[in-house]
Structure 1
Amino acid sequence: MADTDNLSRRRFLQATGGAAAAGALAGCTGDGGDTTTTTTTTTKEPENELSLINSTIDTLDPIAAADTASGRVIMQLFDALTNYQDGTTTITNLLTKGYEISEDYKTYTFNLEENATFHNGDPVTASDVVYSFERLAGSSNSRRSSFILSTLGVKHETTSDGEYKSGSLAVTAVDEKTVKVELKSAFHASLQMLAYSSFSVVPEGIVGDIPGYDGRVEYQKWQANPSGTGSGPFQFDKWSSGTEARVTAYDDYYGAAPKVNSVHWQVIENDNAHYNYAMNKNADMFGIPTAFYDPEKVSVERETQKGQKLGTYGPLRNGETANYVGVPTINTYYIGFNMEAVPKPVRKAVAYAMNQQMMVDRVFKGRGQAAYHFTPPSIYPGGADQYTQHAKEQYPYGYNESRLDKAKQVMEEAGYSESEPYKLNWLQYTSDSWMEMAKILRDQLASAHIDMQIEQATFNTLLTRVRNGNMEAFTLGWIADWPAPDNFLALLDPPQTQTDVPGGSSYINWSSKTGSAATQAEQAYDVVQNNQKPTDADEKARNEAYVKIEEANWEDVGMLTVNHYIDEFFWYDTVADYTPFGGMGFSRQKLNDVVLND
């Protein structure tokens, strides 16, 4: 791979160098502290600005982002080859204007949009795609290398120790506007996978985090200020970690030009502050924290074929009535255990104590469905009815009930007692509703000889500690990257759960040393990987393996599922036109079609 640097690229380097020199530029710190990034010149006045609320943003590098908050901003700045239209499960072309698929489903040839440009005016080329995919596969900054190497399964070579061999990825530039992607084997959800934001395209050679490129911008500066390097409908304006972010309209966008001048996210972690900000009408569109939510105020006027419930919510505290959408997005929220640190009897005791339905009704006010599988109902093999039937008949810890007698029994059989309880360190996001759930569990588990110590942290801090294996139990959620069980159950493939493995999907450290069913899960996931064709026979084999993985997790309790959240979103009449998101969620929706009232 050559490190080319033509005249256009040199002009780009001069532009970004000037921006970087304008002030101190720092990346998002690991502990979620407030750091200041350089801001570019704002070309749009904020009058026609869409105002939103976000959580702490981790990074603006598409391959380094593994959180929803970062993804909301990245989705506006960068484009991938394909996209989920309006956050639904429908795949549409984005940077590709068309593609061809070989008869064996292993080779994809993409033709790029002729008019697609980066925000500095340079055209998006096939070489940019090759570089972007190479970064995803081989950069030390990539948190989703498994998505391209294992899940999508692009052909590549490995070193003697099994690591990816740099430059071996079978993604080639056929010509300036044609890209060929070769897979090791067929993958039934290739086009859906490519819509994930980690596959976003950035300019070739922009940073030097892979061999063959020195980089034109220092990485930490770029990931916090990617000025000029996106090709999405909005361009970077500013980001202050833990405080705010803003993007402005890119008028030369090859797709539908944005109808607002800018989008601003106020970063607010606290539920009370979040609600007050929305009630003061500082946000045009917002969620309502569960602690302040009243299901009696929802008035559903119609339901779409995609399962969206549309209507109104109100009156709000400020007297207004907001527009409303409720969507059963494809997600699962769960309690994760560092299985190396938490003994299996303790994990089982927590599972016996948990009554998922009670938590949904009492804590989350009915905003979801009790979760007994890691795979959400809408994509579970056989559908929602089979999901429920399997859970009712097979879930070992009590379907819609808390079995504290069994929790106590399993702990006493393991040698714990009232005088010698197990001390469980529990870390969770700063959410009032999740805190309420934790307190309920803490009080229940006291009778089962578990002394549960609860700690709260911002999402950024929580992720850092969990990734480092520096926690025993934690609360997290997984929102679909693509709508198939593989996407969820990769988190339960034991080799991908290790905290010491770069690019791992989850952080529970599941192995034959920490759980008797780890081998079953690993073998079942191998079956999934070996039956990836979009054929009925392969789908049948995958579906059987999916269930085996779910049952293995039941046995070892690496992840204790809690609920599948229903995303409910609200907006004032300051928004004149908005197409509500679908099953893939608001974080997958581009906002160039939102219209504000004058």
Structure 2
Amino acid sequence: MTDTDNLSRRRFLQATGGAASAVALAGCTGGNEDDSDQTTEGNSTDGGDQADKPNDDANVLRLINSTMSTLDPVKATDTASGTVIQQVFDAMMNYPNGTIEVEPQLAKGHEVSDDFKTYTLKLKEGAKFHNGDEVTAQDFVYSWERLAASDNSRRAYFILSSIGVEHETETVTKDGEETEQYKPGSMAVEATDDYTVEMQLSEPFHATLEMLAYTSFAAIPEGIIGDIDGYDGEMSHKKFSTENPVGAGPFTFDKWESNTEAKVSKYEDYHGSAANVDGIHWNISSSSDAIYNYGVVNQNADMVTGEQLPTPKYDPKKVSVEKTDKLGRKVGTYGPTKSDMTMDYTGFATINAFYIGFNTDAVEKPVRQAAAYALNQEQAVNKVFKGRGEASYHFTPPSIYPGGAPEYQKHAENNYPYGYNEAKLDKAREVMKEAGYGKDNKAKFTFTVYESSDTWSELGKLLRDKLSSAYVDMSVEKAPFSTLLKRGRNGNLEAYSLGWVMDWPAPDNFLQLLNPPQTDTSKAAPTSYINWSGTEASKSAKEAWKTIESNAAPTDEAQKARDEAYVTMEEANWEDVGFLPTYHRMDERFKYSWVDCPRFGGAGASRQMYNKVEIGDRK
């Protein structure tokens, strides 16, 4: 889930198992037995009672959404907001249907300098914002400056750190402390003419184009908000972000009533493929029961996501997989539902990882190893998450692991030291005995999960019961998600459950959480909370990360060096068990037969645009 209180490179998922029970860009849903990245605001209701529902014969796509936080692309960190933003705003690049091979969107092409530091991006001519203005290079300069400099931005690190656009910093005193911050206006992004943007990086970065596909980089009209130097603004930020967002996407914004509904309409002047539907209507609710009843029981939604059919109400026996396509997506049917309907089904282990993290300062290595021996990942997926995912043995997801899924499995089967698809309680007891523990001298630690997560709480109890025979007393506690993150940042967790989804589709986006210096909770903005240092394995991981950073160019030679370092970091983590990999979540879609919607890819359904969806006669 995204930690919205921390502007570092982090994208935490609430590890609730809600889509198994499960996203943003994909984002985090508070209180909804799911793993999306949504933050909530205001008082939640069941939703739907006051919403204007489309007629059954209307050419409007009917969907469900969780509580939204904003419609400003640079402020949104949650899936619920991002799903709507994806329809209203366009960026330079795009993940078509949530696949991970980016394509130009408002760009028509690009050039990269020989040193991979200068990107020259050419824009389409004639693309228009919803207010009728043409999209120009200067709009992107303004939009990206907002991403870097606006107090409303929650993704400044995307452009300043992840991509690493050249910029200056300045010393700022806040609350009596001096910090280095971005110097507004210093970023090396320039409009060289009306349709050309030039961007200078401090160092090569192999996933630059992939990052530019994020809606955080979307274009908005120059000067429309006055939240950065040099602009008074045509409207307030509140009005833009809640009442009148102006983008260049396939749908124009109509309405958003908090906890009730959101609406968008087809933009007839869209520069790309005009929408097949006349609009989209989201019924908004923060209640998982209300969402389930609205979409599945009462058939008021044309399709629902995995988290909207929560695990307690999900029956794996009702899934019939007819084929697995070339991307690995499982395609078939689900049903009959409670309303006696059969729905089309798509399931795909998208690019995500869920894990148990250990504070290595608080839980000693033999105990962490005993937990690894006791956990049977395959059993956890099948028994706790009802098969809605894949057992994980690496932190890097299979589709982006060096060599892909086959190498992921081969490396795990041949090398994972704690038992591949099995628990080894005898080894757990052995390692604990060697450390001096026994029946009368048990180790203790607390495993903290998000308070609405029945699935991770259940997994914790399963692990607890196994560890009890290995001289470990493990307790399971629940905490509000914001509390869990705050305690983690302060080093006050012993063990915890979290997840991560891609910022860019490469292992370094995940393995940055295992770079030892970035796990130090005594420093500002740790990317994880495991305090991993001082061991040979942590030194190996630290050196491997340096190799990754010094080989960031998009070349075959650099890729080979990174791949070797990625594996080194995974094996170092195995040795010390900072993270205990648990599962890769299965993202799912359940839709009725009258909906024709392209399948989503590895980047997830939340990054999918709906302009190519078609609605037939509803039954």
- 1:115-194 pair list within 5 angstroms: 115-159=126-170, 163-194=181-212
Match of 1:373 in 2: 394
CA distance in 2, matches of 1:396, 1:419: 26
Distance 1:345 1:419, change over 3 A: closer
Q: State the Cα deviation string for residues 561-591 of structure 1 (Å, max 9, x = none).
A: 211123221101242x211112221111101
Q: Residue type of the partner of 1:486?
A: D
Distance 1:539 1:430, change over 3 A: same
Tell me, yes or no, if the aligned pair for 2:538 and 2:572 is still in contact at 8 Å. Answer: yes
* Range with greater deviation from structure 2 (551-560 or 236-245): 236-245
CA distance in 2, matches of 1:369, 1:309: 13
CA distance in 2, matches of 1:395, 1:156: 43
Q: CA deviation at 1:435?
A: 3.5
Tell me, yes or no, if the aligned pair for 1:126 and 1:176 is still in contact at 8 Å. Answer: yes
Q: Residue type of the partner of 1:582?
A: G
Tell me, yes or no, if the aligned pair for 2:367 and 2:443 is still in contact at 8 Å. Answer: no
Q: Does 1:428 align with 2:450?
A: yes
Question: SS of the counterpart of 1:566?
Answer: strand
Q: Does 1:80 align with 2:95?
A: no
Match of 2:316 in 1: 295
- 1:62-77 pair list within 5 angstroms: 62-77=73-88
Distance 1:573 1:302, change over 3 A: same
1:265 to 282, 293, 304: 282
Q: CA deviation at 1:44?
A: 11
Question: SS of the counterpart of 1:50?
Answer: strand
Unmatched tracts of structure 2, length 5 or more? 1-36, 46-50, 172-178
Q: Residue type of the partner of 1:262?
A: G
* Range with greater deviation from structure 2 (206-215 or 303-312): 206-215
Distance 1:268 1:510, change over 3 A: farther
Q: CA deviation at 1:271?
A: 4.7
Distance 1:300 1:419, change over 3 A: closer
Q: CA deviation at 1:320?
A: 0.9
Tell me, yes or no, if the aligned pair for 1:30 and 1:464 is still in contact at 8 Å. Answer: no
Q: State the Cα deviation string for residues 111-153 of structure 1 (Å, max 9, x = none).
A: 2222323333333222221222223334454443333233322
Match of 1:25 in 2: none
CA-based RMSD: 3.5
CA distance in 1, matches of 2:472, 2:331: 46
Question: SS of the counterpart of 1:477?
Answer: strand
Q: CA deviation at 1:268?
A: 4.7
CA distance in 1, matches of 2:443, 2:285: 37
Q: Residue type of the partner of 1:593?
A: K
CA distance in 2, matches of 1:341, 1:266: 44
1:563 to 568, 583, 586: 583
2:272 to 255, 275, 278: 255
Q: Does 1:572 align with 2:595?
A: no
Q: CA deviation at 1:460?
A: 7.2
Question: SS of the counterpart of 1:123?
Answer: coil
Q: Does 1:538 align with 2:558?
A: yes
- 1:158-557 pair list within 5 angstroms: 158-159=169-170, 163-213=181-231, 215-219=233-237, 221=238, 224-225=241-242, 227-241=244-258, 244-268=261-285, 271-277=288-294, 278-286=296-304, 287=306, 288-337=309-358, 346-404=367-425, 407=428, 413=435, 422-428=444-450, 430-447=452-469, 448-455=471-478, 457=480, 472-497=494-519, 506-508=527-529, 510-512=531-533, 517-557=537-577
Question: SS of the counterpart of 2:72?
Answer: coil
Distance 1:519 1:138, change over 3 A: farther
Tell me, yes or no, if the aligned pair for 1:426 and 1:455 is still in contact at 8 Å. Answer: yes
Tell me, yes or no, if the aligned pair for 2:353 and 2:395 is still in contact at 8 Å. Answer: yes
Q: State the Cα deviation string for residues 463-503 of structure 1 (Å, max 9, x = none).
A: 6776676755443322223322122222323444566877x
CA distance in 1, matches of 2:258, 2:432: 43
Distance 1:269 1:30, change over 3 A: closer
CA distance in 2, matches of 1:361, 1:30: 29
Q: CA deviation at 1:244?
A: 4.4
Match of 1:107 in 2: 118
Tell me, yes or no, if the aligned pair for 2:225 and 2:240 is still in contact at 8 Å. Answer: no
CA distance in 2, matches of 1:432, 1:559: 21
Q: CA deviation at 1:163?
A: 3.9
Match of 2:48 in 1: none
Distance 1:499 1:230, change over 3 A: farther
Q: CA deviation at 1:89?
A: 2.1
Unmatched tracts of structure 1, length 5 or more? 1-27, 37-41
Question: SS of the counterpart of 1:315?
Answer: coil
Q: CA deviation at 1:176?
A: 2.2
CA distance in 2, matches of 1:388, 1:143: 36
Q: CA deviation at 1:208?
A: 4.8
CA distance in 1, matches of 2:329, 2:377: 24
Match of 1:49 in 2: 60
Tell me, yes or no, if the aligned pair for 2:521 and 2:531 is still in contact at 8 Å. Answer: no
Q: CA deviation at 1:375?
A: 0.7
Percent identical among aligned pairs is 53
Distance 1:325 1:528, change over 3 A: same
Q: CA deviation at 1:237?
A: 3.5
CA distance in 2, matches of 1:235, 1:421: 58
Tell me, yes or no, if the aligned pair for 2:165 and 2:187 is still in contact at 8 Å. Answer: yes
Distance 1:350 1:206, change over 3 A: farther
Q: CA deviation at 1:80?
A: 1.1
Q: Residue type of the partner of 1:115?
A: G
CA distance in 2, matches of 1:117, 1:64: 23
Distance 1:494 1:66, change over 3 A: farther
Distance 1:198 1:465, change over 3 A: farther
Distance 1:218 1:29, change over 3 A: farther
Q: Does 1:596 align with 2:608?
A: no
Distance 1:215 1:529, change over 3 A: farther
Tell me, yes or no, if the aligned pair for 1:57 and 1:460 is still in contact at 8 Å. Answer: no
CA distance in 1, matches of 2:130, 2:523: 35
Tell me, yes or no, if the aligned pair for 1:416 and 1:422 is still in contact at 8 Å. Answer: no
Q: Residue type of the partner of 1:476?
A: L
Tell me, yes or no, if the aligned pair for 1:429 and 1:462 is still in contact at 8 Å. Answer: no
